[in-house]
Amino acid sequence: MQISDVNLTDPDIFQQAVPHEMFAVLRREAPVYWHPEESGGFWAITKYADLKTISKTPSLFSSERQGTLLRDLPPQNLPFVQQIMLNMDPPRHRQYRALVNKAFSPRMVNNMHGKIRAMVNRIIDKVIETGECDFVDDIAAQLPLEVICEMMGVPEEDRRQVYAIGNRMVGFDDPDLQLDGKVVADDMDGQAAAAEMFMYAGKLLDQARRHPADDLATALVNAEIDGQRLSDTDFNFFFLLLIIAGNETTRTVTSNGMLDLIGHPEQLHALRKNHLLLPAAVEEILRYNPPVHSFRRTATADTELRGQRIRENDKVILWYPSANRDEEVFDAAQDFNIRRHPNEHLAFGVGEHFCLGANLARMELNEIFRGVLSRVHDIELAAPARRLRSTFINGVKEMRIRFTPGPVAG
- Going by pLDDT thresholds of 50, 70 and 90, the confidence category of residue 244 is confident
- Going by pLDDT thresholds of 50, 70 and 90, the confidence category of residue 387 is very high
Please compute the mean of the pLDDT values over residues 12-20 and round it to a whole number. Answer: 98
- Going by pLDDT thresholds of 50, 70 and 90, the confidence category of residue 240 is confident
Residues 293-323 pLDDT 10s = 999 999 999 999 999 999 999 999 999 999 9
Residue 352 belongs to a domain: yes
Bridge partner residues of 228 (DSSP): 225
Residue 172 belongs to a domain: yes
- Going by pLDDT thresholds of 50, 70 and 90, the confidence category of residue 227 is confident
Three-state DSSP class for 89?
coil
Residues 348-358 pLDDT 10s = 999 999 999 99
Residue (of 4, 3, 225) closest to 98 by Cα position: 225
Among 39-43, 255-259, 321-325, the least confident range? 39-43
What average pLDDT is seen over the chain? 93
Q: What's the domain range around 159?
A: 3-404
Q: What is the CATH number of the domain that holds 253?
A: 1.10.630.10
Bigger pLDDT: 157 or 187? 157
**What pLDDT, on the 0 to 100 scale, is given for residue 225?**
79
Please compute the mean of the pLDDT values over residues 134-150 and round it to a whole number. Answer: 94
How do beta strands 132-134 and 61-62 pair?
Answer: unpaired
Residue 410 belongs to a domain: no
| Gap between the Cα atoms of 343 and 321, Å rounded | 14
Check pLDDT > 80 for residue 114. yes
The helix or strand, by DSSP H or E, that contains position 404, with its residue range, turns out to be strand 400-404
Residue 96 belongs to a domain: yes
Task: Report CA dihedral (393, 191, 137, 85) to the nearest 10 degrees.
Answer: 60
Residue 243 belongs to a domain: yes
| CA atoms within a 13 Å half-sphere pointing along the CA-CB vector of 260 | 25
Name the maximum alpha-carbon separation found in the chain.
63
Check pLDDT > 60 for residue 179. no
**What pLDDT, on the 0 to 100 scale, is given for residue 185?**
46
| Gap between the Cα atoms of 17 and 379, Å rounded | 22
Which backbone phi and psi does 111 adopt, to 5 degrees? -65, -15
Residue 409 belongs to a domain: no
Residue 101 belongs to a domain: yes
Is the Cα torsion angle 173, 26, 314, 351 positive or negative in sign?
positive
Q: Which residues have C-beta within 8 Å of that of residue 327, sequence separation ≥ 6?
A: 27, 333
Contact yes or no for 196/82 (Cβ under 8 A): no
**What pLDDT, on the 0 to 100 scale, is given for residue 160?**
85
Task: State the amino acid at position 284 in one-letter form.
Answer: E
- Going by pLDDT thresholds of 50, 70 and 90, the confidence category of residue 182 is low
**What pLDDT, on the 0 to 100 scale, is given for residue 268?**
98
Q: Residue 293, class by beta-carbon neighbours within 10 Å (0-12 exposed, 13-18 middle, 19+ buried)?
A: buried
Residue (of 73, 90, 77, 149) closest to 115 by Cα position: 149
| Gap between the Cα atoms of 209 and 229, Å rounded | 14
**What pLDDT, on the 0 to 100 scale, is given for residue 103?**
84
User: SS3 helix, strand, coil % of the chain, rounded to 5?
Assistant: 50, 15, 35
Please compute the mean of the pLDDT values over residues 56-83 and round it to a whole number. Answer: 94
Residue (of 61, 110, 70, 22) closest to 350 by Cα position: 61
Number of domains comprising the chain: 1
Residue (of 161, 169, 164, 144) closest to 251 by Cα position: 144
Q: What is the DSSP letter of 133?
A: E
| Gap between the Cα atoms of 256 and 152, Å rounded | 26
**What pLDDT, on the 0 to 100 scale, is given for residue 195?**
87
What proportion of the chain, given as a percentage, has pLDDT over 90? Answer: 79
Check pLDDT > 60 for residue 324. yes
**What pLDDT, on the 0 to 100 scale, is given for residue 377?**
97
- For 137-288, strand residue ranges (E) read 224-225, 228-229
What proportion of the chain, given as a percentage, has pLDDT over 70? Answer: 96
**What pLDDT, on the 0 to 100 scale, is given for residue 187?**
57
Q: What is the DSSP letter of 69?
A: S
Check pLDDT > 50 for residue 184. no
Centroid of chain to Cα 205: 24
Residue 246 belongs to a domain: yes
Calculate the alpha carbon distances from 86 to 49, 59, 78, 133, 291 in Å.
Answer: 21, 15, 13, 34, 15
Among 112-121, 188-197, 206-215, the least confident range? 188-197
Please compute the mean of the pLDDT values over residues 131-140 and round it to a whole number. Answer: 97
